[in-house]
Amino acid sequence: MMDIPETPVKDLWRIFRVMAEFVEGFDELATVGPAVSFFGSARSKPDDPYYKLAHETAYEIAKADFAVITGGGGGIMEAANKGAAEAGGKSIGLNIELPLEQVPNDYQNLSLHFRYFFCRKVMFLKYAHGFIVFPGGYGTMDEFCESLVLIQTLKQASFPVILMGSEYWKGLIDWMKQKMLGEHKYIEPEDLDVFTVIDDPKAAVKVITDFREAQGTAGIELPAGMKKA
């Protein structure tokens, strides 16, 4: 896409670029069917236990006939795209242009490219029937909190939000309970029920599939080995 000229109407030109990203994203993703968005660190290496966990989870999700959507980069994103592709599923990457160039991973069978984070974020959330969040940094936290806010404020249907890796998330959840809920009352007790902490890929798949079969209704019974936050 051509560079926007440096003129007084630069912002007006930018509107058309934003529109183009939305149109392409809507056009490409509207027909992919049920999908699950995977979030997590781009820095995880193939020998990282969380990389392996993401690969296995995405493989199982794809076998359950869900498309897998990631940010298209390395680390957890690569692992999830790889798992989905190896399962013969739809492996989607929503790549972002960054000053420090993000290299798209090789396991995407549908690859979209975005300049604007907010356009990309809409695609993550609009077409997902569930969110699986692996350990990560600021970007992962942003995506996790965005999904919680949209569900809390009823701007997004209440699809499952799963945190994979209880050891990693324990400190954050304890802080949320003690500070956000207990000490300051910034959230309600039921706000902690929006997400679930899981360590087993098959348990994560069960949450997603049970929700699909229930057509989004509440009251999922958690299987053994899984716990609410």
pLDDT (0 to 100) of residue 155: 73
Asked if residue 152 has pLDDT above 90, the reply is no
* Domain annotation covers residue 1: no
**The domain that contains 86 carries what CATH number?**
3.40.50.450
The predicted pLDDT at position 153 comes to 86
Task: Please check whether residue 145 lies inside any domain of the structure.
Answer: yes
Q: Give the span between the Cα atoms of 208 and 120, in whole angstroms.
A: 23
pLDDT of residue 224: 43
Asked if residue 156 has pLDDT above 70, the reply is no
pLDDT beyond 60 at 162: yes
What's the pLDDT tens digit per position in 69-116?
Answer: 999 999 999 999 999 999 999 999 999 988 765 789 999 999 999 999
Share of the chain above pLDDT 90, in %: 77
For residue 12, is it within any domain? no
Query: Which tens digits make up the pLDDT trace of 177-195?
Result: 999 999 999 999 999 999 9
- pLDDT-based confidence at residue 6 (cuts at 50, 70, 90): low
Q: What are 24-77's pLDDT values in tens digits?
A: 999 999 999 999 999 999 999 999 999 999 999 999 999 999 999 999 999 999
227-228 and 195-198 beta bridge pairing: antiparallel
The residue segments making up the domain with residue 71 are: 29-215+224-228
Please tell me the pTM assigned to this model: 0.88
Domain membership of residue 21 (yes or no) is no
pLDDT at 170 over 90: yes
What's the pLDDT score for residue 49? 98
Residue 5 lies in a domain: no
Pair of tokens at residue 126: 């609009």
User: 97 in a domain, yes or no?
Assistant: yes
Based on the structure, what is the number of domains in the chain?
Answer: 1
User: For residue 132, what pLDDT is reported?
Assistant: 98
pLDDT for res 113:
94
13 domain residue, yes or no: no
Tell me: pLDDT of 218 over 60: no
Is residue 16 assigned to a domain? Answer: no
